[in-house]
Amino acid sequence: MAATRRPGRNHLFVPGPTNIPDRVMRAMMVQSEDHRSVDFPSLTKPLFEDTKKVFGSTEGTIFLFPASGTGIWESALTNTLARGDKVLTARYGQFSHLWIDMAQRLGLDVIVQEEEWGTGAKPEKIEEALRADKDHQIKAVMVVHNETATGVTSNIGAVRKAIDAAGHPALLFVDGVSSIGSLPFYADEWKVDCAIAGSQKGLMLPAGLGVICVSQKALKAAEGQSGRNDRLARVYFDWEDHKKQNPGGYFPYTPPLPLLYGLREALACLFEEGLENVYHRHAVLGEATRQAVAAWGLKTCAKSSEWNSDTVTAILAPEGVDAAKIIKHAYVRYNLALGAGLSQVAGKVFRIGHVGDLNELSLLGAIAGAEMSLIDNGVKVTPGSGVAAASSYLRENPLNKG
């Protein structure tokens, strides 16, 4: 039997990939062209400079890879570290877990600080570990800024202060895949050595373009790996190849042309709105979502307000209710895509992503759909309560700071 057509659009509220603005989609509808032509640098050279602004950097170097954020994790590790090097990190969600797994599989010695899911990186524990490392064997600290599995944001500024307080020279690597372009991020101020982003979240593009902003300190660390027998293998993600080609506006291999045109337009969208307004808008939408959750009588996965993420809210299903059924019903009945629980929280949470190109009415549609799915699955929620709470908050808190 042929599938029944569902009228209207799918309401995409996973925490990435996110909705793509119409003007960005139009910008990506381009004919193929010669990426070695004399005209090509007019597209690419400004991208290397303009993209830095989203990272909060003027001093960093941007590398663009045809990859997801996972590839950029690998790029950061393999360019700067050698086999057996110690790295310090915390595990508090699925994506911090996956980055740890990658580092171990690459041959790094990973010191893991286990944190309760629903919390994040603890700067005081990081400082303690670095102070104890008298010989400076720890070469890098890895932190996931925004853990989408649990709806938790860690304080990167505090992590930097902890590293400095310990007087430790370790590099700082930050996964900003679900934060950069949506949450305040200040790579230069926080002295982030490798800041990692993917195109499919705050940058409002399809998946497939990985972005990294690299500090001068990290570039020097990469140069120091040259010629070492124990250096980590890298080919596709080697910065050196990009350093030779990028200044002229070219790439060491065929770039994803439509995504580059899309990136140019997406950056224009962000700059026209103003980055501070972008950050404010996400903060307002995040709080409106939490207001709805409270009105439903439910709790978030984040253990306290200090951990709240403004790009995704992970909501605990009531005891005895399978969150996966809430998610499936929302999709099948209401054409609403909610985020699933991952790993330790699978079946326990459903997630509402409020990241990227959306406004008050977009969010209220997602809250209404989630609310209906909760009721349909036997959760005792007063119809309209979440929508009312969120809309009341949104009416009092404009998205644009003016």
What tokens does 179 get?
């934060």
Query: Is 111 strand, coil or helix?
Result: strand
Judge contact between 188 and 218, C-beta under 8 A. no
| All residues at 6 or more sequence positions from 395 whose CB lies less than 8 Å from its CB, including other chains | none
Whole-number Å distance between alpha carbons of 256 and 221: 28
Q: Is-cis flag, bond preceding 17, omega within 30?
A: yes
Whole-number Å distance between alpha carbons of 175 and 153: 11
Judge contact between 256 and 208, C-beta under 8 A. yes
Q: Please say whether the dihedral angle defined by the alpha carbons of residues 261, 263, 265 and 271, taken in this order, is positive or negative.
A: negative
Judge contact between 122 and 113, C-beta under 8 A. yes
Whole-number Å distance between alpha carbons of 119 and 33: 47
Beta strands 336-340; 146-147: pairing state: unpaired
For 53-69, the DSSP string reads: HHTT-SS-EEEEESS-H
List, in sequence order, every residue forming a beta bridge with 210; answer none if it has no partner.
65, 198
**Annotated binding site for substrate, which residues?**
351
Q: Please say whether the dihedral angle defined by the alpha carbons of residues 385, 391, 396 and 400, taken in this order, is positive or negative.
A: positive
| Structural element, H or E, at residue 371 | helix 360-376
Whole-number Å distance between alpha carbons of 402 and 399: 9
Whose tokens are 């549609």? That residue is 365
Judge contact between 100 and 89, C-beta under 8 A. yes
**Annotated binding site, which residues?**
351
Q: Calculate the alpha carbon distances from 294 to 234, 238, 349 in Å.
A: 48, 47, 15
What tokens does 260 get?
């580059």
What tokens does 266 get?
């997406």
Whole-number Å distance between alpha carbons of 143 and 123: 10
Whole-number Å distance between alpha carbons of 198 and 202: 8
